[in-house]
Amino acid sequence: MKVLSRREFLEKGIASGLWIAAPGYGHILKSISYPADKIESNSFNDNKPDEFTPGIIVAGTGQIPEWLHCPRFYTVDYRRDVVMDEKWISNPGEISNLVKTIADNGASALRLGTCWGGEVFYQSRIAPHSSRLGHLDYLREAVEQGKQSGVKILAYINPNALYTDHPLAERCAVRDSQGNVWNIDAYGIKSTRYACTNNPDYRKFLMDILSEIFMEYQPDGLYVDGLTSHICFCRHCQEKYYNLYKTEIPVKFQKSGPVSVLWEMTSCPELIGDLHDRDSKAITQFLYNNLTDITKDFTLTVKSCKSDAVTMYHSWPKADTLPYYDGTLGEIYVNQPWVHILWKTGELTNYGAVFPILVLQNIYLRKKTEQEGRNKIFQVLANGMLPNCWYLQGMKTCFDYLRENARYYDQTTTNPFRFMAFPRAIHEDAVQRQIIKDYKVPGPRSRFLAPYAGFYSAILRSELPITTIHRPGFHQKIDGLKVLCLINEASISDEQVDRISRFVSEGGALIATGETSLYDQNGIRRPDFALKDLFGASFTDILPPGNRSVIFSGRYHITKSLKNTGIDYDESLLVVKPTGCKVAGWVIDKNKEHEKIPAAAINKYGLGRVVFIPARLDSIQCEKLTPEIEQLFKNAVHWATEGNVPIQIESEKAVGVTMFEQSGRIMIHLVNYNSDTRQDSEPCGKIYNIRMNLIVPAGRKLTRLYLLWQKKELGFSYKTNRVNFMLDELGEYEVVVAELG
Ligand SMILES: [Zn+2]
């Protein structure tokens, strides 16, 4: 088994598939021009972007510093207006004490607020000091104590805003189409303005700060929050735009800006403006170029001052910015459509853990208890990121464990196990928003997001491992998968249809639901499903919600074991006509029971198998956790893979399972979800006697099985290519390690 590095592995699926999420524009639009490299650099003089290996840390060596393989992060931010949670440091020695405290609690890295709004928390000769700073030097103290306590210090800077009393505010703030300073508070924070990184004075100010920090203080890295390009009509932006397109920035984009941070938690730039407007494509590309330029300048400036400093950015990397990233972070605030939030931290971690670099996940606590801290950290560890703690609660227990077991979480050698994946989003995109106009689904459910969340919960509660892929260009990211799940993936291009058809005909399994493939990439309704041959079914109609329920057939595997408890079906209903599929369940009208509409069907296509579930059972599951719906999806995966599910788990209560691999090793993470599903801070009841069954990859033999949390060896018995074993007890979290000879 050749094991790729995480970088190679994820890049195959991720970086190569990064698109501008603009239907009809196809592949990513390559940058049109790079400005001359203004940075004088000892290490990077000869490095052009194309030769720059993604994420390479130590300039010129291609090595990631040992400490970044599995760092344990703690964060403290400072900002003028924040007085609630942050403890302001006002005496010498307090920062040192903070560093000592987090070290005692297991942390190995501190993200320290150093600059916000153009003012800084160190004794700068360039930038205005925060009025709270006095004679203190947060950064100096932290770096010095960090060396003694073994804590790496990352200077946090947010260059997105300037306080209105900052000397550069008037000159460097973003400008509206009238040429006036855009009169809007940055992030809604009083007396601030968004700053324009195309302004040479502001750019110089930022680069000077970076040079000062990394030449004089030598911290271990930089964390940049809020780095963004804005729609801005200042003369510098106009000049740059003109150089590219020989025209002015169209005034119509005034209405699209300024957004607080552009494309923050997305893996590709999303179209600004209108789908059918060529100017939209142009401004999107312009902003993307700007973002790439400033990201490059930041990284090169830092690394030219301190070659082994790491550069992390808050906004997720895009294809063109990835070369300048050593790490990023997940921070998504979204409430809809979740009703059951017990596993939401893990779900969002799973969503974001798609980059070939270090990805941290913020651990914010509401109740601020040890229990809540552990619940969230374990979900993060089990889903492919590392935690960034904002509170000490839960930290020591988890970080002591993580330090002891760092090699099992090493981001440079650990890859998600490729079995089943589904494209999804956290927000609707422009095409989905257009499709939604056809008919609406009342809250808390929604046309597209509820099926994603409902399906995820069904799979999680069925103890099946799943990974997420981002929707744009998803068909380029499915190599090596056994199961592709298209969850109400209504808008699909012909190219995607071809790739999916090939995937299934070559033996892949497809689980598809709802209106999958009924629309093209521009949101135009097709006369029939583009995947109708795979489904063995044709589209007929969509009925409004009525008085209906679901019944299952006992004839076919996917519904045979299901109890006919008459699940209420209260959503719109897609009517399909079987053209070759076998129908395994129906939605019936309670008043006219002879009218049966297919709700679930199976079909074979080439060497592969397809389960098509046109009824919106995934959406119902988002609100009402329904054992029959969960079992239906579980059966679907088992039938479509002919039982070749890498891990099978029999448990009385819900266990979240994820799988990762390293060279010669498979790691099965188990998270206990035996708790009230509408919260995530209460203790989970222990789960006993979990039976597990693992497929050993062809040509390998299981040589050792052990538990990381309980520090215990496990016995096992072989049956052909499968091993059976039992976990007597699951507390909150466990990792089963299978060593393969
Ligand atoms: Zn500007």
User: How many angstroms does the Cα of residue 127 sit away from the middle of ligand 1?
Assistant: 21
User: How many angstroms does the Cα of residue 178 sit away from the middle of ligand 1?
Assistant: 13
pTM of the model: 0.93
Can you give the pLDDT at residue 233?
Answer: 98
User: How many angstroms does the Cα of residue 130 sit away from the middle of ligand 1?
Assistant: 26
User: How many angstroms does the Cα of residue 194 sit away from the middle of ligand 1?
Assistant: 10
User: How many angstroms does the Cα of residue 165 sit away from the middle of ligand 1?
Assistant: 19
Contacts of 687 (CB under 8 A, 6+ apart): 651, 652, 653, 655, 672, 674, 729, 730
User: How many angstroms does the Cα of residue 185 sit away from the middle of ligand 1?
Assistant: 16
pLDDT confidence band for 39 (50 / 70 / 90): very low
User: How many angstroms does the Cα of residue 172 sit away from the middle of ligand 1?
Assistant: 8
User: How many angstroms does the Cα of residue 714 sit away from the middle of ligand 1?
Assistant: 61
* pLDDT higher than 60, residue 20: no
CB-hemisphere CA count at 13 Å for 619? 25
Contacts of 276 (CB under 8 A, 6+ apart): none
User: How many angstroms does the Cα of residue 643 sit away from the middle of ligand 1?
Assistant: 57
| pLDDT tens by residue, 621-662 | 999 999 999 999 999 999 999 999 999 999 999 999 999 999
% of the chain at pLDDT higher than 90: 84
Can you give the pLDDT at residue 61?
Answer: 54
Can you give the pLDDT at residue 592?
Answer: 85
Average pLDDT over residues 534-550: 96
At 252 the three-state DSSP class reads helix
User: How many angstroms does the Cα of residue 524 sit away from the middle of ligand 1?
Assistant: 36
Can you give the pLDDT at residue 6?
Answer: 56
Nearest to 605 by CA among 540, 552, 554, 529: 529
User: How many angstroms does the Cα of residue 200 sit away from the middle of ligand 1?
Assistant: 10
* pLDDT higher than 70, residue 86: no
Tokens at 670, concatenated: 């188990």
User: How many angstroms does the Cα of residue 232 sit away from the middle of ligand 1?
Assistant: 4
Tokens at 91, concatenated: 């005496």
pLDDT confidence band for 187 (50 / 70 / 90): very high
Average pLDDT, the chain: 91
| pLDDT tens by residue, 318-358 | 999 999 999 999 999 899 999 999 999 999 999 999 999 99
User: How many angstroms does the Cα of residue 250 sit away from the middle of ligand 1?
Assistant: 14
* pLDDT higher than 70, residue 19: no
User: How many angstroms does the Cα of residue 229 sit away from the middle of ligand 1?
Assistant: 9
CB-hemisphere CA count at 13 Å for 424? 27
User: How many angstroms does the Cα of residue 235 sit away from the middle of ligand 1?
Assistant: 7
* pLDDT higher than 90, residue 2: no
User: How many angstroms does the Cα of residue 158 sit away from the middle of ligand 1?
Assistant: 17
Nearest to 89 by CA among 148, 144, 146, 130: 130
pLDDT confidence band for 60 (50 / 70 / 90): very low
User: How many angstroms does the Cα of residue 289 sit away from the middle of ligand 1?
Assistant: 13
Quote the CA–CA distance of 90 and 381 in Å, as a whole number: 35
Can you give the pLDDT at residue 83?
Answer: 58
| pLDDT tens by residue, 91-114 | 899 999 999 999 999 999 999 999
User: How many angstroms does the Cα of residue 546 sit away from the middle of ligand 1?
Assistant: 53
User: How many angstroms does the Cα of residue 448 sit away from the middle of ligand 1?
Assistant: 36
Q: What is the enclosing helix (H) or strand (E) of 657?
A: strand 655-662
Average pLDDT over residues 44-57: 36
Can you give the pLDDT at residue 38?
Answer: 28
User: How many angstroms does the Cα of residue 39 sit away from the middle of ligand 1?
Assistant: 21
Average pLDDT over residues 556-566: 89
| pLDDT tens by residue, 206-260 | 999 999 999 999 999 999 999 999 999 999 999 999 999 999 999 999 999 899 9
User: How many angstroms does the Cα of residue 30 sit away from the middle of ligand 1?
Assistant: 22
Tokens at 2, concatenated: 């050749």
Is residue 637 left, alpha or beta, with left meaning phi > 0 and alpha meaning psi from -120 to 50?
alpha
User: How many angstroms does the Cα of residue 251 sit away from the middle of ligand 1?
Assistant: 14
User: How many angstroms does the Cα of residue 79 sit away from the middle of ligand 1?
Assistant: 24
User: How many angstroms does the Cα of residue 324 sit away from the middle of ligand 1?
Assistant: 23
| pLDDT tens by residue, 574-586 | 999 999 999 999 9
User: How many angstroms does the Cα of residue 35 sit away from the middle of ligand 1?
Assistant: 16
Cα separations (Å) of 589 from 569, 597, 598? Answer: 9, 9, 12
User: How many angstroms does the Cα of residue 207 sit away from the middle of ligand 1?
Assistant: 17
Residue type, 233: F
User: How many angstroms does the Cα of residue 421 sit away from the middle of ligand 1?
Assistant: 41
Quote the CA–CA distance of 198 and 238 in Å, as a whole number: 10
| pLDDT tens by residue, 486-519 | 999 999 999 999 999 999 999 999 999 999 999 9
User: How many angstroms does the Cα of residue 686 sit away from the middle of ligand 1?
Assistant: 57
User: How many angstroms does the Cα of residue 221 sit away from the middle of ligand 1?
Assistant: 28
Average pLDDT over residues 699-720: 96
Contact 447, 613 (CB under 8 A): no
User: How many angstroms does the Cα of residue 279 sit away from the middle of ligand 1?
Assistant: 18
User: How many angstroms does the Cα of residue 181 sit away from the middle of ligand 1?
Assistant: 10
* pLDDT higher than 90, residue 594: no
Burial class (CB in 10 A: 0-12, 13-18, 19+), 423: buried
Quote the CA–CA distance of 467 and 83 in Å, as a whole number: 39
Residue type, 296: K
Query: What length does the chain have?
Result: 741
User: How many angstroms does the Cα of residue 321 sit away from the middle of ligand 1?
Assistant: 20
Cα 448 from chain centroid?
18
User: How many angstroms does the Cα of residue 313 sit away from the middle of ligand 1?
Assistant: 21
User: How many angstroms does the Cα of residue 230 sit away from the middle of ligand 1?
Assistant: 7
Can you give the pLDDT at residue 442?
Answer: 84
Radius of gyration of the chain (CA): 26
Can you give the pLDDT at residue 439?
Answer: 87
DSSP string, 380-432: HHTTT-EEEESSSTTHHHHHHHHHHTGGGS-TTT-EE--SEEEEE-SS--HHH
User: How many angstroms does the Cα of residue 154 sit away from the middle of ligand 1?
Assistant: 28
User: How many angstroms does the Cα of residue 256 sit away from the middle of ligand 1?
Assistant: 14
Quote the CA–CA distance of 17 and 707 in Å, as a whole number: 36
3-state helix/strand/coil string of 610-625: EEEECCCHHHHHHHCC
Can you give the pLDDT at residue 82?
Answer: 66
Contact 75, 110 (CB under 8 A): yes
Tokens at 626, concatenated: 């329904």
* pLDDT higher than 60, residue 46: no
Q: Torsions phi, psi of 506, nearest 5? A: -85, 5
Buried b (16+ CB within 10 A) or exposed e, 270-279: bbbbebeeeb
Quote the CA–CA distance of 705 and 697 in Å, as a whole number: 15
Average pLDDT over residues 43-60: 37
- Helices 395-404 + 370-381 axis angle, to 10: 30
3-state helix/strand/coil string of 133-195: CCCCCHHHHHHHHHHHHCCEEEEEEECCEEECCCCCHHHHECECCCCCECCCCHHHCCCEEEE
Quote the CA–CA distance of 556 and 599 in Å, as a whole number: 13
Quote the CA–CA distance of 256 and 249 in Å, as a whole number: 12
Neighbours of ion ligand 1 (CB under 5 A): 196, 198, 232, 234, 237
Average pLDDT over residues 664-688: 98
User: How many angstroms does the Cα of residue 242 sit away from the middle of ligand 1?
Assistant: 13
Quote the CA–CA distance of 453 and 462 in Å, as a whole number: 14
